[in-house]
Amino acid sequence: MGKRIFALAVKEFLAIFKDRKSRVVVVVPPLLQFLVFGYAATYDLKHVPYAVFNEDGGTESRDLLAEFEGSPTFRKVSVIDHEEQIAPLIEQRRVLMVLRVGQRFSSDLLLRRTAPLQVIVDGRNSNTAMLVLNYVKAIVGRFNDRWAGRGTGGEGPPAHLVT
């Protein structure tokens, strides 16, 4: 059965390549797509709208949030002060992500405990959501490296991302 299918495929390719117009149709569109998409398609995200729900007023939480504000990838569009404000922002597509810093973030870091950081991402476009999460992980990773460089190492990473 496999030999018959292979022979049929070879016969069809030979028929296509004998006709000059068919050769052009088979070869030119993929080359054009290769050139156009090679320059036009990008998976980089810039200016991702996000909101901040900072329940902790400590220096450490502000340092972490400053990393996001200084990043060209993210653009802060809202500051939230109640949990009920999260869902409408995401449902109305005003933000793609909400960063929630818990009440004990700074104190947990100072006590050398893992401090949770919650990231809520609009998952309607799963590829974009995964890219955003990877950017967030990179920023939190840099924050953890700097925090560990202060000589305050405890058990595990200082800031723990909860998705």
Strand order in the sheet with 97-101: 74-79, 48-54, 97-101, 115-121, 159-162
Residue 44: is its pLDDT beyond 70?
yes
Q: Check residue 156 and give its pLDDT.
A: 56
Beta bridge partners of 49: 75
Q: Which tens digits make up the pLDDT trace of 104-118?
A: 998 988 888 888 899
Share of the chain above pLDDT 70, in %: 92
State CA 131 to chain mean position distance: 2
Largest CA distance in the chain: 76
Residue 155: is its pLDDT beyond 70?
no
Q: What is the pTM assigned to this prediction? A: 0.70
